[in-house]
Each structure stands twice: as structure tokens, then as C-alpha cells.
Structure 1
Amino acid sequence: MSIDTLEPVITPDLVWTKVRNRTLFTMLVPLVILGYLIYTWFAFDVAGLLSKAQPDRAAILATDSVAYKVHVTKNIRRDQLEVAIEGERRAAYDDTNYPDWVQVDGSNSVVDLGEGYLVEIVDKTMNFTVPGYGVITATATNSGVDITVPPGDQPDWLKTNPKKLDARPTLDRRVQVTRTKIEVHNFFGGWENFWFSFNSDLYGMSFSQLYALALSADRLDPEYSNLWHIVHEFLDNPDWQHGEIFLALLETIMMAVLGTITAAAFGLPLAFLAARNFTPSMFMRFGTRRLFDFLRGIDMLIWSLIFIRAFGLGPLTGALAIAFTDTGSLGKLFSEALENIDNKQVEGVRATGANQLQRYRFGVIPQILPVFLSQVLYYLESNTRSATVIGALGAGGIGLMLVETMKTSRDWENTSYIIILTILVVIAMDQTSSWLRRKLIEGK
């Protein structure tokens, strides 16, 4: 019997060593993970971040993103009462069409907020009836606000000081009093004036009324048909800016498409220079691969900042940032695909007497085409999201409009609207790229 056929002798000591090593390994891994988590907890000051969190503020922003409020404002100095959507003067009700929950008598009013919440405004005094708590009274004076609250502990939703009263017993009801004004906020679900502005002649019309109007021969505007008038009023809505948002979305899509196509157009030829089986020169391969490392080693956001400083604001800077970064990424992927092709197909084409260009066209490209199309479509889908982020830095598109709405910290429903549209565009790009992938690669 040869030595090679002898089986290793398993001794108890060997078994114990293996069990001990495995036990130590299974215990060491969780301990390392736990130690890392403990380190990050203190290194990132997670406790400090949690202490600074404002969940009530987050709840208010979430409410504002899916609801709108009507302001009932009593101007103390002018002795005037105004009822307006979101406090906008251009969306103010006149004295003939106040909401039914607002009863007005001159400059005084009674505001019924529902469920027993009632606000009475008489001269400079506000009486706020809160079910289960009592009546809060606040009177505006020249020096501040005189406040009277029910006896007992003051709830967290009631904030008082000599200069201001702020009471928000529920997310959809709020009362504020200062020495210059008394303001009541009543929240309603939905997005205000989404279809048409408050002052539009189409405001408040139902879909059936709009449909009948579109088919009517009696024009509201002599210069336009009723259908175009409806479209025009919708796109030019000053509160929601539908037309500008749609153009910004189109700009973002074009930014992603131009950047991705440019990257693919430059990445494929450069990939041949980086592939070992197509470029025998080691220096040429080394230089091309380092170029890929340089292009993709700098983040897309950094490239966009560089081009913004060089060329100014605009979508072209975003497209260039995408093109530079993706040229490095796609070039590396294409070069790896070229190095893994089957040379037998190339030799078969060469046997027919084809020249070098024909060998590439019929022997190489068909082999890398699935990888080429798959990666380009994937990067196109991903760059649609990236173009939004780049646009926020100043490259334009929907990202810039999104940042502008967030800076105001006022109309979060507009922010939600842009975010939803961006998600829908990404979903559409994903579905489109999947369909093209099936058509072009699988042949279906």
C-alpha cells in the first residue's frame, strides 16, 4: 500500500482542537461586531443626536406634507379680519363667501374647529375652548399678551410667555396670539388649489363640469379653446407650478440620458485599449486603466462641483459629471467583458477573410452586446436618481426645485409632490429599461 492512499489518523486531540477553534471563532465574531457597534455609538455621538431629535417637529412636517391649513387672522393694529388658504392674500376669501365654520361679525368672529374646539375673537381678546381642559384666554396689549389658563398643570401642547401664546392641542388645530395679531389655523386633508389657483375661473369645478366645459363651444377665453384654457390654467398654477416642474423633470431625464450615452460612447472604445487580448502594449493598458480609476475615483458630486465652477450653473454641468464618472465605470466593465470573450468566434470570422474591423463587428460585439446593453440601461436608470441630487447642487432640473421648496420650510406639500413625481419617473425608467432589456437581449 502506498503512502498516498493512507487515510489521516483522527485523534481526540485533533478533534478537540478543531472544536475549540470553531467555538472561539463563533464567539469572536459577535464580540467584534458588538465592539464595533459600541465604538460607533460613542464615536458618532448617537446619544447626543437622539437627545436633539424633535419628533413633534417631524410630525408637524408630515402633517403639512399631506394637508393644508386655512388661516383666520385678526390684525390688531388695523382691526381687520382675514380668512385665507395658507395665509396667502391672493387666496383670501371675501366677506361674501367665508367658510361655514367661520362666523364673522365685523372684525370679530367665532371659529368652530370641530369636536368641541371653539375660538371666539372679540376685539383684542381670544377665548379658546378646549374639551377636557377648559378655556384659554389671551388679550393682546401694547407690551405683549395677557394670558389666563385653567388651574393645574400646563399641558405640553400649550406654550406661553409674556410675548406670545401658542396652543396646538391636536395636529390639525392651532391658535397663536401676539400683541399684533390673533391667528387660528384649521387643517384639512389634501393639497389646496392643486388643479387650479384660488382666483382661477375654473376653481372649485368638478371633473364632470370640466369635461362638459371642454366640449362646449362657448369659450371662456376668446383666444383659446376651452380644452386648452383648462390645460393652460393647470400648467400655469402659481401655487404648484406644474408646467415648470414638468419641464424640470424632462431636464433631469435628458441630463441622465445625455450623460449615460456619452459615457457609453467613450467607454467602449477605451475598453479595447484596456483589454489584455486586444492591446498588447502594457503601457497603453496601464494608462487606460488608470484613466478609468481616475474618472470613477472622483465622486459624481465632486465632478459636478468642479464643472459648476468651470462652466456655471446648468444641466450641461450635470451631464458632464455623469459622463465623466460613468466613463470610468463602464469602461472598466466593458474591458473585463472583452477579456472574457470566446476567441473561437473571432477566429471563425477571420477564416472568412474578414478584416479587423469586420472581426470586431461580427466576432466581438455580439458577445459583449448583452453586457453592454444591460449595464448601459442599468446606469441610465441609476443616473436618473443621481441627476436629481446633482441638480440640487445647482445643475438644474427637478433637484434644484426640490431644494428650493425645502428651504422655505413652509409648503411641504410641494416638496411631497416633487418627491412623488421623482419616484414615478424612476419607476418609469426602471420599467422602460427592463422592457428594452428583454427586447434587445432576450429577443422577446
Structure 2
Amino acid sequence: ASILFGEQLDPERSNLNGAVSDWWNNAMWRHKDVAWAIGETILMAFLGTMGAAILALPLAFLAAKRFSPLMLLRATTRRLFDFVRGVDALIWTVVLARAFGPGPLTGALAILITDTGTFGKIFSEALENVDQKQIEGVASTGAKPLQRYRFGVIPQVVPVLLAQILYFLESNTRSATIIGAITGGGIGLMLTQAIQTQKDWEEVAYYIVLIVVMVMFMDWFSGWLRGKLIGRKD
């Protein structure tokens, strides 16, 4: 109550603004740095996941037998998917960090490479199971091949694609924490630094709690967004 109604301590700002500023710039708990690090971690997961989905969709058409009649092209694309998803994201992180240097974008690129292979396999299998009658119905209107894909194929696979993308977005938020500890970005780096000091375990516990809260929030958010976009809730 004294913050709102008490005597003003600083003539240049209100007591409430002063309290918020002191909390935000607290040198011990570093709330400002922590908020930035959490945003960096979520951004790393978002860029990696969405970038992988964008790359994987056209490649999935090349890997699907129904849409790619050339066996050599299908086999090459599928082996590419196997290769990039067969190497764990942490290994890609180490390789990319040596090649491009540490940073959040390196972590996002590692997630992108791994998930491109995983999404490619999932998307190609979804494309294999589309209803041919809907494609034929669009073709009967005189639609060109690209229009057949746009109006006859994509609407059928969108629910599956969105569900997988949102699930991986939530999962990659956890992965980005570990990747950030290697690439030097996000909340993972702050947790690693706190552990290495071996002095302030309260700070370590604080970061762990924040990571758990961040993952829980992303789990709720992805479920809510899934329900809004495809009409289904977990």
C-alpha cells in the first residue's frame, strides 16, 4: 500500500514505477536478462520448427509415390530425410557451432535441419493417404496441376501437418534449452553458467523452475492454438 499511497521517494518517478524498475533491473536475479533469454529460447524453437516445416512440405511431395513417379527422385529424397533426421540435433549443434560460431541462430539452424527430415517423412506419409476422389473432383473443373495440389491435396493434410508442427514447436522449446547451453544463447546458457559457479544453487533452482514454467506454457499454448486452428483440443 505504501508503494501506491505512501510518500513519493523519488521526485522524478512514482513509487510504483520505481518498484517495477528496481525489480526489473535487479542485479541478483537478473529478471530483465532472464526474460530476454526465455524469449530467445522460444524464438530459437519457433524459427527452427517453422523453417523446417516450410522446407519439408515441397520435399515431401517429391518423396510421396503418388505425386512423384520417378523412383530415383523419391529414393534420393527419402534418403536425405533419413540422413538429416538420423543425426541428432545436438550433434548438428556442435558441428554448426564450429562452422558458424555460437549464437541462437546456430541453434535454430540445428533444429531446422533435424526437423526437416522428420517433417519430410511425416508429411510424405500424410500425402500418401489423401483421398484421390477429392483431387479428381478438382481436376474435373479444369484445374491445373498446381491448383489440384492447392485445392485438392493441401486441405486434406493441413490438420495433420498443423498438429505435428505445433507438437514439435512445444517439444523443441525443451530442446532449445539444451542447445542454447551449447551455442551460447537462451535460458540454457544462463542455467549452465549458474551451475558452473557451484555457489548459488538458489539461482540454479530459479532457472530450472522458469524452464519448467516455460515448457508448461508452450504446451498449453500449442494445445490452445491447435484447438483454434483445427478444432481439436487435447
TM-score interval, normalised by the smaller of the two chains: over 0.9
**Residue 205 (structure 2) aligned to one of 416, 420, 423:** 416
Does residue 364 of structure 1 match 2:153?
yes
Kept in 2: contact 1:317–1:395 (CA 8 A):
no
Shift of 1:358: 1.3
Find out whether 1:402 has 2:195 as its counterpart.
no
Q: Give the superposed CA RMSD.
A: 1.4
User: Does the 8 Å contact 1:256/1:380 carry over to 2?
Assistant: yes
Give identity over the alignment, percent: 57
Residue 372 of structure 1 aligns with an amino acid whose one-letter code is L
- The aligned counterpart of 2:100 is 311
**Structure 1 alignment gaps of length 5 or more:** 1-207
The CA deviation string for residues 13-61 of structure 1, in whole angstroms up to 9 with x for no partner, is: xxxxxxxxxxxxxxxxxxxxxxxxxxxxxxxxxxxxxxxxxxxxxxxxx
* 1:60-71 alignment runs, 5 A limit: none
CA distance in 1, matches of 2:184, 2:177: 9
Which residue, 220, 223, 226 being the options, matches 2:10?
220
Which whole-Å CA distance do the structure 2 matches of 1:371 and 1:297 have between them?
Answer: 22
Equivalent residues, number? 233
Counterpart contact for 1:388–1:398, Cα < 8 Å: yes
TM superposition score normalised by structure 2: 0.95
Write the distance in 1 (CA, Å) between the matches of 2:60 and 2:9. 61
Deviation at 1:210, TM superposition (A): 2.8
Query: How far apart, in 1, do the equivalents of 2:111 and 2:134 lie?
Result: 34
Comparing both structures, which one devotes a greater share of its residues to strand?
Answer: 1
CA contact under 8 A between 2:3 and 2:15: conserved in structure 1?
no
Task: Map Cα deviations across residues 346-378 of structure 1 (whole Å, 9 max, x no partner).
Answer: 000101111112111111011101110000000
What is the identity, as a one-letter code, of the residue corresponding to 2:17?
A: W
Matches within 5 A, 1:226-305: 226-305=15-94
The higher relative CO (CA closer than 8 Å, separation ≥ 6) is in 2
Inter-partner Cα distance in structure 2 for 1:291 and 1:413: 45
Structural mapping, 1:12-411, within 5 Å? 208-213=1-6, 218-220=8-10, 222=12, 224-411=13-200
Larger Rg: 1
Task: Give the corresponding residue for 1:433.
Answer: 222
- CA shift at 1:226, angstroms? 3.0
Stretches of structure 2 that go unaligned for 5 or more consecutive residues are: none
- 1:240 maps to a residue whose letter is W
2:52–2:115 CA contact under 8 A, matched in 1: yes
Instruction: Note the C-alpha offset of 1:333.
Output: 0.2
CA contact (8 A) 1:308 1:395 kept: no
